[in-house]
Amino acid sequence: MIPRPSLLRDLSASYVLTSGVTVSGDLVDAVRTALAGLDPLPGDSGEIDVRRDPSLGEEAYRLTVGSRGVEIAAGGRAGAFYAAQSLRQLLPDASYRFSSGGSWPVPGVRVEDAPRYAWRGLHLDVARHFFPKREILRLIDLMAVHKLNRLHLHLVDDQGWRVESRAYPLLHEVASHRPRTATNYYREPETYDDVPHGGYYTLDDLAEMGAYARSRCVTIVPEIDVPGHASAILAAYPEFGATGERHDVLDRWGISPAILSPLPPTVEFLTTIFDELLGALGETPYVHIGGDEVVLDHWAASAEIAAYRESLGLATANDLQAWFLRRLADALAERGARAVVWDEAFVSGGLRQDTVVMPWRGMNVGRRAAAAGHDVVATPVFPLYFDYAEASSPDEPMAIGDAITLSDVAAFSPAPAEWTEEERGHVLGVQAQLWTERVPDARTVDYRLWPRACALAEVAWAGSASDDFPGRLGEHLGRLDALGVEYRPLDGPRPWQRRRPHRPAGVRVTEVMARIDAMTHHAESTRPSI
Ligand code: ACM
């Protein structure tokens, strides 16, 4: 199984599940959702019987398969859902395919299981390239198979805005598309494809995605990345920018100086956006507000913004950024959501204590945030940025750099042993990031995510990958095949997955990070220790 359960014991008696299997008990709907495709039916005394056990945590479960059928004890709906996901992994791979009627032998087992971490996340950048609703629903299903439970959607960046707004319709009408896209990276002169790219989720799409995710025990974490990365917003509404100038939706990569104004009208604009977002998505406990890679030059150069900063008694543009993000976090708190930020926002200071920090620039800054009492989700570039190639091979498709391997991910420790007990206690969990500058389509999403996300799931659920992970992964690939996932084969890409033109050879993680530091010179550098 992947992820590995806490305890798995073989029993001698086995059982045969057939299509139309009956499910009875307390949490029938969760089991039926997880076993969709096997056409499970509700029944009075089902072949699968589910009982709530209040002594177990919400996500914990016990699963017993014996000669009389399947018994599940679950702490809550999530526990029942994960028990059924584990049960499915005991069936042949073909159980993941649609078939009209089927009969599946299940080995007798006793499983006792609970997750090590509460936050088991995947991030997808839908701004640089847009992935339509159907791809998000499919990704949620794949996450559920792996007991991953947070889908962080990066909904805006310089290159696009991806949500309908009824209050500010130019966001989806103007900011959601660009006329062309850069096809190279770190290389002059720039080349472009001259192909329009765009798309956005309607509020109805978001409502559906939120409900679909919840039914599969996944929480969507929307990100509105501010105050930097603002070109697309400022293509639609330049009046919310620091200079008032109109920008274009960016057609190339890198860090732009486009920045929102911190003045009250911008805060009001963003809180209206939060209301629309939360209203559509439904129960949304976390909203990410970015705070990364901010170029503060336009704030420093603006007399109006400097006067505003002084009126607040703040000494520097950096302090003003901290104040701005705190106002947004306060607005979210009033709406029942906790803010999540990238680590630069922690380094700028002044966060609400309940703000969750994502230390992308390395675990050193993550430890500082945890020591300061913030909950932390481990997200360091190395080894959790899946936009890096999986091998240093010219066969790999174009990537920002190389290499982050499957075994790098499997070896990762979200709460390192050298941290204090208290610091470790602040690690909510772990999340992989998929930035999509060089991920133009859903097939490439599959290639980049899988099987590295299997290793992520193992670390997130079990706490670490065990020695038998490679063997279990080898078997698990058959499930991914049945699910139609175009993962990266363990020995490298298939012929049609090989490199595209313009791939820069051998750009290492540390070089990429140094470039980012140079571009965001107001922020304290926190180079990763890799
Ligand atoms: C980031 O990679 N800018 C969070």
Is residue 300 a part of any domain in this protein?
no
**Confidence (pLDDT) at 510:** 80
Task: Collect all residues with Cβ–Cβ distance below 8 Å to 83 and sequence separation of at least 6.
Answer: 31, 50, 61, 62, 63, 72, 74, 111, 113
**Ligand 1 mean position to 252 CA, how many Å?**
16
In one-letter notation, the amino acid at residue 498 is R
- The closest residue, in CA terms, to atom 2 on ligand 1 is 360
Q: Does 107 lie in the same domain as 141?
A: no
Would you call 486 a catalytic residue per the annotation? no
Pair (85, 160) in one structural domain: no
Distance of CA 36 to the CA centre of its chain: 24
Residues 30 and 135 reside in one and the same domain: no
Convert the pLDDT of each residue in 159-190 to its tens digit: 999 999 999 999 999 999 999 999 876 666 67
Q: Are residues 317 and 418 in the same domain?
A: yes
What type of residue sits at position 160?
Answer: G
Q: Is 446 in the pocket of ligand 1 (CB under 6 A)?
A: no
**pLDDT, tens digit only, all 530 positions of the chain:** 999 999 999 999 999 999 899 999 999 999 999 999 899 999 998 899 999 999 999 999 999 999 999 999 999 999 999 999 999 999 999 999 988 788 999 999 999 999 999 999 999 999 999 999 999 999 999 999 999 999 999 999 999 999 999 999 999 999 999 999 998 766 666 789 999 999 999 999 999 999 999 999 999 999 999 999 999 999 999 999 999 999 999 999 988 999 999 999 999 999 999 999 999 999 999 999 999 999 999 999 999 999 999 999 999 999 999 999 999 999 999 999 999 999 999 999 999 999 999 999 999 999 999 999 999 999 999 999 999 999 998 899 888 888 999 999 999 999 999 999 999 999 999 999 999 999 999 999 999 999 999 999 999 999 999 999 999 999 999 999 999 999 999 999 999 999 765 455 567 778 878 877 777 766 676 655 44
CA gap 32, 38 in Å, rounded: 9
The residue range of the domain holding 149 is: 126-176+199-229+258-292+310-510
* Rounded distance from Cα 459 to ligand 1 centre (Å): 22
pLDDT at residue 501, as a whole number: 56
Smallest CA-to-CA distance from 138 within 159, 160, 116, 122 is with 122
Ligand 1 atom closest to the CA of 360, numbered from 1: 4
Torsion 309-312-313-319 (CA) sign: negative
pLDDT at 526: 63
Contact 402, 387 (CB under 8 A): no
Is residue 523 included in any domain, yes or no?
A: no
Q: Which helix (H) or strand (E) holds 90?
A: helix 77-90
The whole-angstrom separation of Cα 384 and Cα 408 is 9
Strands in 282-413 per DSSP E: 286-290, 338-342, 356-358, 376-378
- The minimum-distance atom of ligand 1 relative to the CA of 342 is 4
**CA neighbours closer than 13 Å in the CB half-sphere of residue 59:** 18
| CA 405 – ligand 1 centroid, Å | 20
> How many degrees, rounded to 5, is the angle at CA 447 between CA 446 and CA 451?
85
Ligand 1 atom nearest residue 435's Cα: 2
| Minimal-distance CA residue to ligand 1 atom 3 | 292
Going from the C-alpha of 463 to that of each of 326, 453, 455, the distances in angstroms are 32, 14, 11
Q: How far is the CA of 293 from the centre of ligand 1 (A)?
A: 7
Judge if the beta carbon of residue 385 lies within 6 A of ligand 1: no
Of ligand 1's listed atoms, the one at least distance from the Cα of 358 is 4
pLDDT for the residue numbered 507: 72
Q: Does ligand 1 lie within 6 Å of residue 437's CB atom?
A: no
Beta-carbon contacts of residue 5 (< 8 Å; ≥ 6 apart): 86, 111, 112, 113, 462
Q: Say if strands 22-25 and 48-52 run parallel, antiparallel, or are unpaired.
A: parallel
Same domain, 363 and 443: yes
Q: Are strands 376-378 and 427-434 parallel, antiparallel or unpaired?
A: parallel
Instruction: Name the percent of the chain lying above pLDDT 90.
Output: 87
**Of 251, 307, 272, 241, nearest in space to 165 by CA:** 272
Residue 74 domain-assigned (yes or no) = yes
| 439 close to 445: Cβ distance less than 8 angstroms | yes
- Give 248's DSSP letter: P
Question: What's this model's pTM, rounded to 2 decimal places?
Answer: 0.96
Residue to substitute in 253, 342, 382, 386 for testing ligand 1 pocket (most ligand atoms within 8 angstroms of CB)? 342
Q: Which of 124, 194, 189 is closest to 162 using CA atoms? A: 124
In this predicted model, what pLDDT tens digit does every residue of 426-474 receive, in sequence order? 999 999 999 999 999 999 999 999 999 999 999 999 999 999 999 999 9
Tell me, in angstroms, the distance from the centre of ligand 1 to residue 486's CA. 26
Judge if the beta carbon of residue 130 lies within 6 A of ligand 1. Answer: no
Question: Could you give the number of structural domains in the chain?
Answer: 2
Q: Which two tokens stand for residue 432?
A: 């992989």
Q: Are residues 62 and 132 in the same domain?
A: no
Kindly state whether residues 81 and 103 are assigned to the same domain.
yes
| 140: helix, strand or coil | helix
Reduced to 3 states, what is the DSSP secondary structure of residue 263?
A: coil
Round to whole Å and give the CA distance between 432 and 121: 6
pLDDT in tens, 330-359: 999 999 999 999 999 999 999 999 999 999
Please give the Cα distance from 247 to 236 (Å, whole number).
8
Across the strands, what pairs with 157?
160
Domain check: are 102 and 152 in the same one?
A: no
> Which is the closest atom of ligand 1 to the Cα of 433?
2
Chain centroid to Cα 348, Å, comes to 24
Q: Ligand 1 centroid to 379 CA: how many Å?
A: 10
Cβ of 342 below 6 Å from ligand 1? yes
Asked if residue 396 has its Cβ within 6 Å of ligand 1, the reply is: no
CA nearest to 461, candidates 217, 267, 232, 252:
217
47 and 150 within one domain: no
Whether residue 323 contacts residue 257, with contact meaning beta carbons closer than 8 Å, is answered with: no
Query: Is residue 193 a part of any domain in this protein?
Result: no
Q: Are residues 144 and 107 in the same domain?
A: no
pLDDT at 519: 73
* CA separation for the pair 183, 338 (Å, rounded): 37
119 Cα to the center of ligand 1, angstroms: 19
Residue 305 lies in a domain: no
Give the model confidence (pLDDT) of 468-494 as tens digits. 999 999 999 999 999 999 999 999 999
In this structure, what token pair is assigned to residue 63?
Answer: 């699963």
Question: How far is 417 from 153, CA to CA, in rounded Å?
Answer: 30
Q: Is residue 188 part of a domain?
A: no
Report how far ligand 1's centroid is from the alpha carbon of 29 (Å).
38
Q: Which of 47, 164, 276, 293 is the catalytic position?
A: 293
pLDDT at 432: 99
Do 157 and 88 share a structural domain? no
- Identify which of 292, 347, 517 to mutate to test ligand 1's pocket (most ligand atoms within 8 A of the CB): 292
Q: Would 119 be classed as within a structural domain?
A: no
Residues 217 and 288 in one domain: yes
pLDDT of residue 508: 77
- pLDDT for 56: 98
- φ, ψ of residue 69 to 5 degrees: the values are 130, -155
- Confirm or reject: Cβ of 292 under 6 Å from ligand 1: yes
> What's 21-52 look like in SS3?
CEEEECCHHHHHHHCCCCCCEECCCCCEEEEE
> Does residue 485 sit in helix, strand or coil?
coil
Contact 230, 158 (CB under 8 A): yes
| CATH code of 493's domain | 3.20.20.80
Residue 235 is assigned to a structural domain of this protein: no
Cβ-count burial of 100 within 10 angstroms (0-12 exposed, 13-18 middle, 19+ buried)? exposed
Report how far Cα 266 is from the mean position of its chain's Cα atoms. 27
**Is the minimum distance from the CB of 360 to ligand 1 under 6 angstroms?**
yes
- Decide whether any atom of ligand 1 lies within 6 Å of the 382 Cβ: no
Q: What is the CATH number of the domain that holds 28?
A: 3.30.379.10
